[in-house]
Structure 1
Amino acid sequence: MVRDYQEIKSRLRGSMTPVITPFKSNFDIDYDAFSKLIEFQLENGTHAISVTGTSGEPSSLTEGERLQVIESAHKTINGRVPFVPGTGSTNHEETMRMTKRAEEIGADAALIIVPYYNKPNQKALYKHFKTVADSVDLPIIVYNIPGRTAQNLHVDTLAQLSKDCPNIVGVKESNKDFEHVNRVLLKCGRDFLLFSGIELLCYPMLAIGGAGSVSATANVLPGKVAQMHDAWFEGDVETAQNLHYELMELNDVLFKDTNPAPVKSALGMMGKIEPYLRLPMDLPSEELQREIRDTLTKYRVQLQYV
């Protein structure tokens, strides 16, 4: 039976937290901490959960580990909020397998990144996304992050995909070109789901008709990020603007090094995880960690490790 994409689109709104993948000191995945992170999100009003996207260090995981993380998250969430795992990679067949598995376990949608490193042209990108979309009956949110992939998915390419593939329902734009993101809704339609992946553009994208954000900062202050979206959708523009500016200092410090290193450092200080990353990623410098700690203190975040 073909899914009701409109019904699903109506639920995929607000703050979709890209939950990090915690590791133990031996660099095994810490599934107990992972489940607790998801519960922390749900307790604080997060509207949807994503895993194994950029913040989840997918390139540091094996395909089997990614599938285990996705299945673990799905079990923990248990239908309480929409679940949108990241299933994309540089490898087309792996992306197909991951996306098919997301469909099989009952994910609400899949987040599929523009393939990184190999820099496919626009024709190849179209073929890649269309082939994956045609292989599943699952809503797909394209993930455009040119700063990481070294390739920008053009608006016209995305518009053609949205026209030709009814299950391509939205895009996460980690794109600092605000003219580009405006044209996404112009060309793809105002009901196309536009999510911000740039922290300082989360509020501005709501103002032009965006559906929400996928903000790494929500790992640390999920309640504040969710409240900003709630205020906007309730028509309380002043509160939404105030929260946008209130979050700015934390947004800035959490991106002074490559995501998710600063976020993991912050969560470690909060006692939520052991702050480990797999090489070639590593924690921020001691100087930046002190700045993160000081910033968390300003936000009155309870710290266990300083």
Structure 2
Amino acid sequence: MYAKEAKEKLRGSIAPIVTPFMKDFSIDYPTLEKLINWHINSGTHAISVTGTTGEPSSLSVEERVSVMEKAYKAIDGRVPFVPGTGSTNHDETIYLTQKAQEIGADAALVIVPYYNKPSQHALYKHFKAVHDAVDIPIIIYNIPGRTATNLHVETLARLNEDCANIIGVKESNKDFEHVNRVLLNCGRDFLLYSGIELLCFPMLAIGGAGHISATANIMPDKVAEIYNAWNKGDVQRAQELHYELMPLNDVLFKDTNPAPLKAALGMMGAIHPVLRLPMDLPTEDLQREIRRVLHDYVDLPEHVIPSK
């Protein structure tokens, strides 16, 4: 998929799917396929794996490639595929992005390197080098709360000007003034996605292309419908969904994502609620709160997959 085509097709709810594990911590590939089919049947517009919600730092490089391969095969061309390929290691990021291209991904989601706290000049050089190493479109992922580095609008605008295949950014950025300035400086055709659940609806109002929301793992139909309603001009319906999902959004982020999310999916019987250390399930008190909130959204089975 080339940049122009990607800018037309990569709109709506791009669901960042969890990486399901078996109780022995191996990757549960059959469940990954079931989750992908459920999302597509629920109206999700595109699929992403191995982003923050997919626990990439808990996976080996080989496992990340394997998850991308299995996901691509399961999607089977039904919706666009945008895997996360970023890392704190520059060469690893290029390798994973090249692998995504080889596999057949429609675009790559590349995170701002975490822990290192690179300068803006270094970030420009990093993303420019990744861009030059592949031909597929790139969506930059800016999440300063987890990377400790904010990609400045000026740096993003420079990358947009110099790199034809950098087509957008996922902004997990609570600074709404910042995200407004992204489109002002990068152009209204630049793809701006919300990675903050409570900003999915507001981001559409300023010209956003959609959202990459962890909550889509629980309510894929309604997260997708926010975009569909807005796109049809039904502002009231989009607004209603925004407020309807707010309690669920809130509880899913009372601990580090995807811990509450995996607990919730376990309660739904969708996955084994397993994370790899240093990540772990939330406290029992928070799990009780998650279950209470979840009851308002889905019918929970009487018996669910135990965590141990």
Assess same fold via TM > 0.5.
yes
Taking the aligned partners of 1:132 and 1:29, their CA distance within structure 2 comes to: 28
* Residue 47 (structure 1) aligns with: 45
**Match 2:98 to one of 97, 100, 104:** 100
> 1:303 & 1:246 partners in 2: Cα distance?
22
CA shift, 1:228, in A, is 1.0
Aligned to 1:231: 229
Map 1:1-306 → 2, pairs under 5 A: 4-305=2-303
Query: Is residue 18–residue 51 contact of structure 1 (8 Å, CA) maintained in 2?
Result: yes
Deviation readout 1:84-109 (Å, 9 max, x if unpaired): 00000000000000000111111000
Deviations 1:94-148 (A, max 9, x none): 0000000111111000000000000000000000000000111110000000000
Aligned residues: 304
Cα shift at 1:277: 0.2
Deviations 1:198-221 (A, max 9, x none): 000000000000000000000001
1:11-41 C-alpha deviation (Å, 9 max, x unpaired): 0000010000011111000001111111111
Q: Please, what is the CA RMSD of the aligned residues?
A: 0.9
CA contact (8 A) 1:268 1:305 kept: no
Contact 1:109–1:140 (CA under 8 A) maintained in structure 2: yes
Query: Is the CA contact 2:2–2:136 (under 8 Å) kept in the aligned structure 1?
Result: no
Percent identity over the alignment is 69
State whether residues 173 and 181 of structure 1, in contact with CA within 8 Å, keep that contact through their aligned partners in structure 2.
yes
Does the CA-based 8 Å contact 1:217-1:251 persist in structure 2? Answer: yes
Q: For 1:20, give the aligned amino acid.
A: V
Q: Which amino acid aligns with 1:164?
A: D
TM-score between both structures, scaled by the size of structure 2 = 0.97
Return the alpha-carbon distance in structure 2 between the equivalents of residues 12 and 97 of structure 1.
Answer: 23
- Residue 2 of structure 2 contacts residue 137 of structure 2 at CA under 8 Å; is this kept in 1? no
Rounded Cα–Cα distance in structure 2 between residues aligned with 1:93 and 1:53: 18
- Gap change, CA 1:121 and 1:304, over 3 Å in 2: farther
Residues in 2 aligned to 1:140 and 1:127: alpha-carbon distance in whole angstroms: 15
* Pair 1:279–1:137, CA change in 2 (3 A): same
AA matched with 1:25: K
Quote how far apart the aligned CAs of 1:301 are. 3.3
Distance 1:286 1:257 in 2: 12
8 Å CA contact 1:143–1:171 kept in 2: the answer is: yes
Partner SS, residue 298 of structure 1: coil
Counterpart-to-counterpart distance in 2, 1:301 and 1:168: 41
Q: Secondary structure of the equivalent of 2:169?
A: strand
- What is the identity, as a one-letter code, of the residue corresponding to 1:281? M
List per-residue Cα deviations over 1:215-240 (Å, max 9, x = no partner): 00000010110111110001100000
Q: Secondary structure at the match of 1:170?
A: strand
- Residue by residue, what CA displacement relative to the aligned partner does 1:172-223 show, whole Å, maximum 9, x if unpaired? 0000000000000000000000000000000000000000000000000101
| Distance of aligned partners of 1:109 and 1:89 in 2 relative to their CA distance in 1, 3 Å threshold | same
Q: How far did 1:9 drift?
A: 1.1
1:287 maps to amino acid: D
Preserved CA contact (<8 Å) 1:270 1:305: no
Q: Deviations over 1:139-182 (max 9, x none)?
A: 00000000000000000000000000000000000000000000
What is the rounded CA distance, in whole Å, between the counterparts of 2:108 and 2:302 in structure 1? 35
SS in 1 for 2:136: coil
- Which runs of 5 or more residues in structure 1 are unaligned? none
Secondary structure of residue in 2 paired with 1:187: helix
Contact 1:84 1:111 in 2 (8 A): yes
Q: Using the TM superposition, give the Cα deviation of residue 5 of structure 1 relative to its aligned residue in structure 2, in angstroms.
A: 1.4
Cα deviation for residue 305 of structure 1 reads 3.9
Q: Give the C-alpha shift of residue 302 in structure 1.
A: 3.2
The one-letter code matched in structure 1 to 2:282 is: P
Q: Is the 8 A contact 2:12 2:45 kept in 1?
A: yes
Contact kept? 2:88, 2:116, Cα under 8 Å: yes
- Contact between 2:170 and 2:195, CA under 8 Å: does it hold in 1? yes
Work out whether residues 259 and 280 of structure 2, in 8 Å CA contact, stay in contact via their aligned partners in 1. Answer: yes
